[in-house]
Amino acid sequence: MANDREILREVWEGKLPVCFKLDPDEVVELQQPDPFYLMVPRMSYFPLVTDKIRKHFVKYVANGKQEQEMWLKCNGQPMKWHLPIGLLYDLLIDSEDEALPWVISVHFDKFPDSKIYRLSNKETVESYFMSCIKEADVLKHKTQIATNMQKKDHTQLWLGLQNDKFDQFWAVNRKLMEVSGESDHFKYIPFRCYLEDSYKQKLVKPVAEDGSRKTLQHLLKEVFPDKPNVTVKIHGLIVPLDTPLQWMSEHLSYPDNFLHLCVV
């Protein structure tokens, strides 16, 4: 069970100050718009916070382009709408270049269809979020909990995240973090290890054959057998290699129930 409530709360409350700037090439007014500052939860998704940004910038771009799908760019890379904000930050910003606020450029023109998918509306992200919860559930439990939940539980998870309500979210999420039956651990750990442009996912158990608890080090060895010294970051933190996997999964997973680990 996810018992370290203080940790859960700390992780949940992680926020990033962001400075959004409209791409100067898209400005058709004489005056450049002011940048738009926003404090965003690391746990959230950009489509949940970008309505205001669109509203702020849309009047500065050409009439014909105002209806186009907005997109965001950082370090020359278009940002994937369906990844949690904290994960995008950890992926796109090197520790050495860390400087807050996080500057993100906003675009209305030339949507990079070859690089990212058009997933910027809330409903699409919600359905992807629920899909991740279900996938994580398949990995963790023999009998599926998420599938047997009622629609209102799903809604509560999503609204809890959207409205930044920790208690509302965890009232349902704790059921997903329970272990099934006699066991004291999950079947497999839901995780993804992010490299530059892709991620790796594998079946990794939280315990070894002899029943001993496995740690992050074991997981990294199984995912990257050829690389001896892999370090990963989650929620902006380098995780100690001796952290037990079961504990990590219960306490450091994103709201979609996955551990999104960035290889640094």
Partner 1 sequence: MSQPESLAGVQEAENALKSLQIGAETDAKKGDKLKVDILLKPTGNAPIMKKKKWTVESDKPVGWIIEFVKKYLKLDSNEKLFVYVNQTFAPAPDQTVKNLYECYNADNKLVLHYCTTQAWG
Residue 176 binds to partner 1 (criterion: CB under 8 A): no
Nearer to partner 1, 81 or 89 (CB): 81
Cα atoms found within 13 Å of the Cα of residue 220, Cβ hemisphere only = 23
CA distance 172 to 26: 44
**Strand intervals (E) in 23-152:** 36-41, 71-74, 77-78, 102-107
Of residues 29-68, which lie at the interface with partner 1 (CB under 8 A)?
A: none
CA distance 173 to 178: 9
Of residues 177-196, which lie at the interface with partner 1 (CB under 8 A)?
A: 188
From the list 147, 155, 163, 183, which residue makes contact with partner 1 (rule: CB under 8 A)?
147
Residue 218 binds to partner 1 (criterion: CB under 8 A): no
Residue 150 binds to partner 1 (criterion: CB under 8 A): no
Rounded to whole angstroms, the maximal C-alpha distance in the chain is 70
Q: How far is the CB of 227 from partner 1 (least distance, A)?
A: 16
How many other C-beta atoms can be found within 10 angstroms of the C-beta atom of residue 22?
A: 23
Sign, Cα dihedral of 175, 181, 182, 188: negative
Q: How far is the CB of 71 from partner 1 (least distance, A)?
A: 15
Instruction: Give burial (CB, 10 Å; 0-12/13-18/19+) of 46.
Output: buried
Of residues 115-134, which lie at the interface with partner 1 (CB under 8 A)?
A: 117, 127-128, 130-132, 134
Q: How far is the CB of 260 from partner 1 (least distance, A)?
A: 12
Residue 163 binds to partner 1 (criterion: CB under 8 A): no
Residue 205 binds to partner 1 (criterion: CB under 8 A): no
Q: Which residues bind partner 1 (CB under 8 A)?
A: 80, 82, 113-114, 117, 127-128, 130-132, 134-135, 138-139, 144, 147, 154, 188, 198-203
